[in-house]
Amino acid sequence: MIAAAIAVPSLLILYFLKLRRRNVEISSTLLWKKAIQDLHANAPFQKLRRNLLLFLQLLVLAAILIALAQPQIMSDRTTGDLKIFMIDRSASMNAMDGDPESTRTISRLERAKEFAIDEVDAMREAGLFNDERPDQAMVISYAANAVVVQQFTSDKDALRAAIRSIQPTDGPSLLDEAMQLAKSRKASKTFQDSGGDQSPDAETETREIEGLTAGPPQQIHIFSDGNALDAADVLPAVEDSVFYHAIGLPDAKNLGITSLRAERSYENPVELTIFAAIESTDSVARVVDVELRVDGVPVATKEVTLPASVATGATTSDVEGEDPQAAQAMPGSGGIAFPLEMSRGALVEVRLEGLDEGDVLETDNTGYLIVPPAQQTAVAVVSPDDIFIGEALSGLPLSRLDVFTPAQFEAMMKDGRSVEYEVVVLDRWLPPATGEAFPPGRWLSFGSVPDGPGGVISAGIDGITTIIDSQTDHPVLRSLTLDPLVIAKMQRVEIPEDSGVQVLAEAAGGPAILEMSGVEYRSIVVPWEIEQSNWPFQVGFVVFLAGAIDYLSSDSFSEADAGGAARQFRPGDILADRLPLNAVDVDVALVPGGDAESTTPTGDGRITFGPIDKTGVYRVRWTGSPGATDVVEGDRVSRFFAANMSSSPESDVRTAERMVLASQTVAAQEQEARSEVRRLWPWLILAGLGIIMFEWFIYNRKVYV
């Protein structure tokens, strides 16, 4: 306004000026007809006449003045100073239905990045002649874990580059960590606590209000298909606004392997069975070929029919004013089993074939298993007077079963002969500890409390009790029930903080079955005496012994694998294992074709790698001693691990129409209703330049015609 108040009158004054002439005698006025026109003014004032040049110059001046104000067309949507773009890069975002309204075939992640860049383009910018602040934005990508890709900035180029740099993963979609990052920049709300003292000079203490934050409101834009596994736990800040940008089709069709495992027969370990669970989100039944490969060679193909997805009648929305009768459809599921006879170890691959149409996600069409060679376990029982354990173990397919007194076994430990046994079962006796709760080895302990470093604490004896809770998904307890178990005398134990002891079953008086591990040992501990219970007279006791020995004798233990199966991981997990103590030059690679990354073992041979982002087969390679099932190639030793998606929620790629969070339900935004901020000043400058060129043409015509 100030610039216009100065510039416009100045231009008009130039046109009010008139000539001040001086008298000169000439012979004729014929040659001065053109000269008498007022081309130069040098004295005030004359009557303002209609003048095309003045009109054009006023237009140019207006365009320049308006452009200096940086006008823009604002979006109808509420705008805020702070925006957070959360971009889902989980496995389901690799589905190739990102832009169903066009002929393009792009992934959901690529489409999400396009929408996010549209939001960046729509951000408000600062003006030159006002104190309006520009919008700022942060970029967070999330899958199994969340990462801040770009901190808050108003630099749109930096935001676009950060969004384009986000890479896909095969991990699950977990939103809560991303929301915690969004809230982490805010301070907690506080209050002054005087402890009830109302006097003016009472001392006060500043306390935080849990769950409430202070700070300016933020706009949180979630670009996802809405299938976050932990959505019900996600709690945005009260003052923040959440927008859900749905990517993909709500009726997307996908077939995928959701579970894969191998099992050897106890009686004949050469007999191997590969089990695969398959699901389909198609609304019609599907027939699919399932191929089994061993070490890359096809060995069998079977056909499986998957039923259509079926409605469960579950309500998908509690939003006021919306139809609550919309029902979710559960995927159609089926399974298949491949029986084999194979004593050696192998890489097993299960593939879904013939899915050219009606399958938007390729990642879950293949699953891998690392199958160890068939082996029977050598077991030693150490007891002062064993009655039940040796008899129960005698029916299991063990390569060797020996019973020793504590004195005999302690002598074997001194002679180094105890390493002949893969698993040692301890009955009411513990070997001398050497720095940890157990010596190196695999131990199944009954009736004793291992209280060495990293162990537990004895807390007395309780009376009769039963099991009230157990981890039925743990391999040791997966195949049995503990409901009939009655314990007459219960040894109570207490677990120190940060001890790493895992409770597998719990009685009314405390932990009843424990798992303990250290640098060089792993153990299952039953701290009460089995003679003081009815367990030895139940079939479940033999099942427990078989499961515990099979679990403890496994060649490799994956700390990240909740199922307990050796060398099996999911994207988002940490690959963890223990190598021989002389292992050097260790590297990890996704094979084939992946780049090898070096890693350094700890002093006890432990390595960690990850989190793993992709499904497939990972190779850990080193120079040093091999394990029993490792592959030796020249002077290098290789050990293989399998990473599978194996997730029913991630294979169900149907886009959710709303996200149900802990505190609110967020409906998907209408993408076609999206509007953006369009800057007009560049067009005004361009128009002003065009008018100047036209004005120059008119002026020259006036002079020379």
Query: pLDDT digits over 661-670, tens only?
Result: 998 999 988 7
**Model confidence at 490: pLDDT above 60:** yes
> Of the ranges 20-24, 473-477, 618-622, 648-652, which one carries the lowest mean pLDDT score?
20-24
- Residue located via tokens 């194996």: 646
Query: pLDDT digits over 52-70, tens only?
Result: 656 666 676 676 766 666 6
Under the banding of pLDDT at 50, 70 and 90, the label for residue 407 is very high
Mean pLDDT of 510-515: 92
Domain boundaries, the chain: 2-71+681-704, 82-192+207-249+656-679, 255-371, 378-552, 568-648
Find, among 381, 361, 368, the residue nearest to 619 by Cα. Answer: 368
> Which CATH superfamily, name and number, covers 255-371?
Immunoglobulins (2.60.40.10)
3-state secondary structure of 4: helix
**Model confidence at 558: pLDDT above 70:** no
Containing H/E element for 688? helix 681-704
**Model confidence at 672: pLDDT above 60:** no
> Residue 326: what pLDDT?
42
> Of the ranges 1-5, 471-475, 591-595, 607-611, which one carries the lowest mean pLDDT score?
1-5
Under the banding of pLDDT at 50, 70 and 90, the label for residue 563 is very low
Tokens of 477: 């307890």
β-pair partners for 220 = 84, 242
Under the banding of pLDDT at 50, 70 and 90, the label for residue 122 is confident
Cα dihedral angle (644, 608, 184, 667), rounded to 10 degrees? 0
**What CA–CA distance (Å, rounded) separates 138 from 240?**
14
**Model confidence at 496: pLDDT above 60:** yes
Tokens of 127: 């003006």
Name 251's Cβ contacts closer than 8 Å, sequence gap at least 6: 283, 654
**What CA–CA distance (Å, rounded) separates 513 from 551?**
15
Same fold, 82-192+207-249+656-679 and 378-552: yes
The top-level CATH class assigned to 568-648 is mainly beta
The rounded mean pLDDT for the chain is 81
Highest mean pLDDT among 127-136, 297-306, 474-483, 560-569: 297-306
> Residue 314: what pLDDT?
41
> Residue 581: what pLDDT?
78
Under the banding of pLDDT at 50, 70 and 90, the label for residue 480 is confident
pTM to 2 decimal places: 0.66
**Model confidence at 21: pLDDT above 90:** no
Assess whether the previous peptide bond of 592 is cis (omega < 30° from 0): yes
**What CA–CA distance (Å, rounded) separates 654 from 665?**
18
Highest mean pLDDT among 79-83, 429-433, 482-486: 482-486
> Which CATH superfamily, name and number, covers 378-552?
Class I glutamine amidotransferase (GATase) domain (3.40.50.880)
Tokens of 424: 């040692």
Under the banding of pLDDT at 50, 70 and 90, the label for residue 675 is very low
Residue pair 678/73 in contact (Cβ under 8 Å)? The answer is yes
Q: Would you say domain 82-192+207-249+656-679 falls under CATH 3.30.70.920?
A: no
Q: Are strands 441-446 and 423-427 parallel, antiparallel or unpaired?
A: parallel
**What CA–CA distance (Å, rounded) separates 551 from 621?**
25
Under the banding of pLDDT at 50, 70 and 90, the label for residue 434 is confident
> Residue 56: what pLDDT?
63
- pLDDT over 90 percentage in the chain: 46
Q: Is 339 left (phi over 0), alpha (psi -120 to 50) or beta?
A: beta
